[in-house]
Amino acid sequence: MPTVTIDGRRVTVREGAYVLEAARLAGARIPALCHHEAVEPIGACRLCVVDIWKPGWDADSFRLVASCLYPVEEGLVVHTATPRVMETRRVALDLLLARCPETPLVRDLAREYGIEETTYRKRENPDDCILCGLCTRICDKVGPAAISTQSRGVLREVAPPFFEAPPDCIGCGACAEVCPTGHIKVTEDGFTRTIWGKTFEMLRCPSCGRAYLTRAQAEWMAGRGMPVEPLCDSCKRRRTAEVAASLGRPR
Ligand code: SF4
Ligand code: FES
């Protein structure tokens, strides 16, 4: 397992880890808005930049990289808060604030970096989408790839095909779950779930009666030979705890 130095602190991380993971292990605070453990990184937001140095490089030869994408290797030296790292993050946040001037997550982070208002022209009719791509990546990974990015440049946005209720969506809600800004809206009334303008029938947990899975998702999973959970998460946990307790009980 490689050992790396993060801000002067040596940490050993698992093989195949990225610098962001190592830095967090070392206690560094790095903003990473397009990162999620469940999907592969794409380096979209550029907020996680750090300075790195590798054995063999000139002593003063550091390079700026996106830590979420850069694999750790033995002897790597990482600085997570040099002046140019902080300035690069400030520029990225300034631009993001122009895109999403009212989004609390963006505003709070920008404020941490000393930015109250963007120095760029604010987007007209802004919404909360920071184009991190987490929703499309998770949908590709665990679902039917029902959503994608549409248009280009400042008009780019995440949407279903032709901006209509997505025919392939199974209503699993994974996209809303990973969205860091709450841009994707999901509503539930106990019987149905509505997302991306499409309404799904919910299946109920046979133990507690809670709506926990859309019928469309259950059918999609069954069609691929995937096991469909017969219970909701909390009943599953309770059953597991009951089994564990009964096994541990002295006879
Ligand atoms: S909708 Fe949410 S998850 Fe998807 S790109 Fe926008 S901010 Fe990211
Ligand atoms: S978290 Fe690394 S580029 Fe966004």
Condensed to tens digits (0 to 9), the pLDDT of residues 134-169 reads 999 999 999 999 999 888 887 888 888 888 888 999
pTM of the predicted structure, to 2 decimals = 0.90
50, 78 in Cβ contact below 8 A? yes
Tens of pLDDT, residues 97-141: 999 999 999 999 999 999 999 999 999 889 999 999 999 999 999
Instruction: With cut-offs at 50, 70 and 90, classify the pLDDT of residue 96.
Output: very high
148 CB near ligand 1 (under 6 Å): no
pLDDT of residue 156: 86
Q: Whose CA is nearest to atom 7 of ligand 1?
A: 129
Residue 6 has pLDDT above 60, yes or no: yes
For ligand 1, the distance from its centroid to the CA atom of residue 46, given in whole angstroms, is 15
35 CB near ligand 2 (under 6 Å): yes
109 CB near ligand 2 (under 6 Å): no
What residues have CB less than 8 Å from 27, skipping those under 6 apart?
9
78, 9 in Cβ contact below 8 A? no
pLDDT of residue 250: 57
Task: Give the position of tokens 């605070």.
Answer: 29
Tens of pLDDT, residues 186-237: 999 989 999 999 999 999 999 999 999 999 999 999 999 998 888 888 898 8
132 CB near ligand 1 (under 6 Å): yes
- Residue 207 DSSP symbol: T
pLDDT of residue 251: 55
* CA nearest neighbour of 93 among 70, 67, 120: 120
Domain with residues 3-112, CATH architecture: Roll (3.10)
- Residue 150 DSSP symbol: E
For ligand 2, the distance from its centroid to the CA atom of residue 48, given in whole angstroms, is 5
Q: How far from the centroid of its chain's Cα atoms is residue 239's Cα?
A: 30
**Integer angstrom CA distances of residue 97 from 46, 67, 76, 117, 218:** 14, 22, 33, 7, 39
Tens of pLDDT, residues 42-56: 999 999 999 999 999
Domain ranges, ordered by start, for the chain: 3-112, 134-241
125, 102 in Cβ contact below 8 A? no
Which atom of ligand 1 has the smallest separation from the CA of 133? 5
